Structure 1
């Protein structure tokens, strides 16, 4: 009688559990599928403004943010993404229906139609929306991390920057300040080979962006950004260092952007063969699936079931967003200007409140 061969299960590395491995798969699959849904909505003229895909680099966004402590009460770690970090937003706590409503500029979106794509903030869940002038979020997140240190809080900040934006003065000032103050901050440079249409070799004379770390006196590590487990391990080391009071870590994730800067960008400046090479040999999701199945950590059937649940969730999210109303014109006047302090130059026409004297 034939005997059934047992499938050997490899030990799971980096202190992760099988459930966490499957959750990382769900999040990275959710990221790609959500962006695919948004692309369909964009082509139907239902998206207001631009659409920015992270095709080919979703894995590093999810795996890096997975190293943070997430809490929904405003006491967890804090993350600040760029336009291609939807995966990190979903990992820290953003919900797909919120993202769809945001892209469609609906009245019940987090920004209520005033801001688009992932320019959204929720301090309770731990994410701060991006700033369009690239590089500016580095000093902002350095300031956030400074408050963690001054208050003695067990919290860490994580901020993403593109390879092109490392050339900005704000990047230099923010990293330098965070380094001098030994702030609990993780700075992630996403080296996806292109800053819009400019290749990395025209942006720095350094052989690699991680070479900048010693100049600031901070720890640095370069990682294969399409290897999700390697990204998680490096990010966890950096987060643990920050939490232990050891200061800033500069991480460089080597990855690739397989879409143009935004949906309107046909990416004609890139050799199509280069894109196909990355798609066929170094897709982060394909690599992660192979790792899960080959090591016996998940079955193909389990992953298929997760995908089916995601598809249902996204169908419901789009249906809900399409039923949501657009904001009323008066909404444009709310939450734009602050009242300002009493007797400030711009409010002197208002009589002072005697109760505040």
Structure 2
């Protein structure tokens, strides 16, 4: 079977796996599969509560986890192609530090009232969950604005996108400085520390239908734009001089790739917090199966990222039910273990 056939089979398999994980997510939660019984055999209040749990909480959460993972997988493939570095991840331009600073500042202004961010780990009821959506919306907006502002600051320090190495170094500097600013805010406002911890560990607990639809609405145009720009990444893989000799206008094309990277990463981080290693590991897992150009690589990495985060979300809900683990902890442990295995095999470094 050729690479096109293998990539098609892999894409179909990942799509079916994502669908299976979404369906499985309907029955995973603090009450387990028994919560589905009233949907068919219950009536009255019991059936209404079951429908609310399944259709208003579990389904959008599982779909949202898949969409956030798909955005991170896509962003990871774009970052690794843009910087020509297999260790590049979506947070390389400072978006993670910017989002953290935005959330920390919002929490401090609210006097720590945004502590409901981590309430899903404490077992929020449906009514309490619904009552605090305004707080979540404020934190989501602050995270997105912070992520975008950090990327813009990185571009300003790098004086545009003409030099990839300068852009990379500027992203590292911005990440360190904004991380220090976040720590300073948390020292000044210690009441925000517990809520901030929920954001830093990552959580899909507050992803409702609005967030889910937003994630999907951003994912589709980002995937389409990345596909249109895939020829640029294929050319950059041969070196900047070769890419320029092919007649590509690298500065505007690089700027468009950075925009896709920033939008995909900022949207995912704003809805789910900082989830590690999904964007880094997804392209590697695809390359371990099939070698394809960047156009198919980005699509497959997106499907792989969605499957990874959806699976991690199910594990986070089910391992210690009725309590939940932060999904970012699971992805960090599993992703870190995978990268250590890659380093041991000397396939990355």
Fold match (TM-score > 0.5): no
Give the shorter-chain TM-score range: under 0.3
> Where is the strand percentage greater, Structure 1 or Structure 2?
1
> Where is the helix percentage greater, Structure 1 or Structure 2?
2
TM-score by length of 2: 0.27
Q: Tell which structure's C-alpha radius of gyration is larger.
A: 1
TM-score by length of 1: 0.26
